[in-house]
Chain A
């Protein structure tokens, strides 16, 4: 019989990944160039950047949350700093990011990453 933590981890397929819910496709690229497509939650919103001068800059803050089990089942390892991430916004525009900070939660089985924009010479 599964304990509550295992049940909660299993529920991530609904709460985090369900495409009919809030799940969105996220492409993850590791440092060796291998790509994996998983479903998870992504966020990309307007954000006031405070450079601590007393004057802010209008910017963005973006993040992803992915079920660790789905990454491992896809053949990937847990995301770390420097990995590349790609996901679309609500209007279908694809955005490329670099992982600045990865925060794996091995208790509940989610990895949350803060990401920053990546501009490629392919653009």
Chain B
């Protein structure tokens, strides 16, 4: 048997594009929020978080190799989790309706801090901070401007499925407090597959004329 697909498959599938688009939207909008915050004389750090895609190994969130605190900016990890293909919304030849779950995890790691003799616990700071990040993400992704995630023609619908908060296991007592929250985004969009490219079988040129009596005359050229 010989292969029948004669074009190289080297483009992203739409699930990759949708995932990347979600991350891009978050990254762009949070930068804009920081600018807007500065314009209103507010602390832009309260609208800040770092965005990543498809990370799999543990984060080094808070401190460097010297043990110095490097940043308490929360981070967001966007990844494609699962996808279902809906047969009765698809075409058998070319198009598949893909319902994907895009997971957006927000991590906040905070130390206990002491300012002017008043101590604020790190677990409380981390929990409230992860709430803040999820708040921003929900507002951004569910804004009217992003009904189709800027991918109209590909995306049918996007919907926020749920939000879940995580806490470290009761037996864990880390020296740095981490809280995480997950926003699950369901996106319905089209995927397309390679199609056969037709070959010219026979070319026929037709010229239509009428004679002086109005009768339609056809000249056919098959050369």
Contact = CB atoms under 8 A, between A and B. Distances in A.
B119 interface: yes
B122 A55 contact: no
A57 interface: yes
Interface residues of B, number: 37
B175 A117 contact: yes
Interface stretch (A4-12, A20-28, A96-104): A96-104
A53 B173 contact: no
Nearest to A54: B105
Contacts, number: 107
A63 B172 CA distance: 12
A97 B175 contact: yes
A47 to B, nearest CB: 6
Nearest to A123: B69
Interface of B: 55-56, 58-63, 67, 69, 77, 105, 107, 109, 111-116, 119, 121-122, 166-169, 172-180, 182
11 contacts: A49-B168, A49-B174, A53-B180, A57-B178, A58-B58, A61-B174, A100-B173, A101-B173, A115-B175, A117-B111, A117-B112
Interface of A: 44, 47-53, 55-63, 82, 93, 95, 97-98, 100-101, 114-121
